[in-house]
Amino acid sequence: MAYYVYLVNFTDQGVRTVKDTTKRAEAFRALAEKLGGKVHTLLWTLGKHDVVTVVEAPDDAVATALSLSISERGNVKTQTLRAFDAAEMDKILAKMA
């Protein structure tokens, strides 16, 4: 499984319905599990992004489907980053010329 970091920002609609944000977070967790993934961390943040979450997913297609599925609802816009743990980074470094 691969790690992904989602940087999330509320849309105008998401701000208008912000009182539902924790309910939406639970729905996000359930959707991730349904797609074969797992939400490791989901945090509301101050600054440039409103929410940051770390998700483990089987592949890029599942991570993208999850991102598009939550964006489609209109409450958030997402940016998805592929992330690597130390073991994965060691494998990458071993391939360097």
Q: pLDDT per residue over 38-57, tens digit each?
A: 999 999 999 999 999 999 99
Taking only the tens place, the pLDDT of each residue in 1-27 is 999 999 999 999 999 999 999 999 999
- Mean pLDDT of all residues belonging to the chain: 97
CA separation for the pair 18, 49 (Å, rounded): 14
Q: What pLDDT score does 12 carry?
A: 98
CATH architecture of the domain with range 2-94: 2-Layer Sandwich (3.30)
Q: What pLDDT score does 25 carry?
A: 98
Domain ranges of the chain: 2-94
Query: Which residue, among 6, 9, 7, 64, has the nearest Cα to 35 in the 3D structure?
Result: 64
